[in-house]
């Protein structure tokens, strides 16, 4: 009876893996898609609005830096939308773009599903130039176009489902065996999800380089930005396999290899 139940669960999991997939624009990678994109965008829009309206958030308006964020963001958005339209993806992405500069000393920027972008003033000394800012914003927009938030949620759901299957499969084993398997599965799934995150970062680097090139920014400028980011971060870092991001050395080396590909799209 348990064998039949396990077979049924396995069949369901396999069916989900093979049917719930989508394709990442530009890279062509297949990804697991168990989460509804529209719901993700709706929730992201609500969260973005809540952040901007929070008394703790100071949105910068009317300054040259605020205008720069708007200009760079709009250039990248137009380039991305043009690419999506030309390559048959336009109907899959109904983004309502917003670009805001937030007075916050974090060295950070992000793009929520649906094109809700925030750049913190703390990263501007590292970007230094318009092309440096385009490197950051192209990278963050790439995360949204690649649906990385939805994919991370889908991978987490899949890992939880697999965990249930592992538990059922070892239900008749000794307690020691069950504990050992569950601990190994827990570590394995966590490392796997970290690897997914590192792969997403690398994919966003690749897509971001191309997006900034399409928007008229020289991809060669990206190397200097990431070198400055590495210098800014400094300090002791975890091993790469236990990190959500590639090592600085790997990232910069990979970006240098990707620049010729991005240059094919460079519109001066």
Q: Give me the sheet containing 59-60, strands edge to edge.
A: 59-60, 98-102, 116-120, 109-112
Residue 140 among the catalytic residues: yes
d(CA 160, CA 166): 10
Do 81 and 90 touch, CB atoms closer than 8 A?
A: yes
Distance CA 77, CA 144 (A): 11
From residue 184, alpha-carbon distances to 100, 238, 241 in Å are 43, 20, 16
Phi, psi of 251 (to 5 degrees): -60, -50
CA dist 49 and 64 (Å) reads 23
Q: Which two tokens stand for residue 120?
A: 């913190």
Structure tokens at 169: 């499969």
Q: Which of 140, 151, 201, 203 is catalytic?
A: 140
- Active-site residues, by number, are 140
């Amino acid at each position: 009876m348990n064998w039949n139940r396990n077979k049924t669960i396995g069949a369901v999991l396999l069916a989900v893996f093979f049917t719930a997939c989508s394709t990442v624009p530009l890279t062509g990678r297949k990804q697991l898609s168990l989460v509804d994109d529209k719901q993700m965008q709706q929730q992201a829009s609500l969260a973005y609005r809540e952040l901007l309206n929070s008394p703790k958030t100071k949105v910068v308006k009317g300054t040259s830096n605020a205008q720069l964020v708007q200009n760079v963001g709009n250039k990248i958005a137009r380039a991305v939308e043009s690419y999506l339209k030309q390559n048959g993806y336009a109907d899959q992405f109904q983004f309502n773009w917003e670009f805001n500069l937030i007075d916050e000393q974090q060295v950070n920027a992000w793009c929520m599903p649906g094109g809700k972008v925030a750049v913190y003033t703390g990263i501007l000394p590292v970007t230094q130039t318009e092309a440096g800012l385009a490197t950051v914003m192209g990278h963050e927009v790439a995360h949204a176009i690649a649906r990385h938030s939805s994919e991370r949620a889908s991978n987490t759901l899949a890992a939880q489902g697999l965990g249930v299957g592992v538990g059922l499969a070892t239900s008749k084993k000794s307690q020691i065996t069950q504990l050992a398997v569950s601990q190994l599965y827990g570590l394995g799934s966590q490392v796997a999800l970290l690897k997914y995150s590192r792969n997403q970062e690398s994919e966003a680097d690749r897509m971001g380089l191309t997006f900034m090139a399409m928007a008229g920014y020289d991809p060669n400028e990206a190397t200097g930005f990431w070198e400055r980011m590495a210098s800014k971060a400094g300090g002791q870092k975890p091993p790469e396999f236990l990190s959500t991001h590639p090592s600085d050395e790997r990232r910069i080396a990979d970006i240098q290899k990707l620049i010729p590909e991005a240059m094919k799209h460079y519109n001066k």
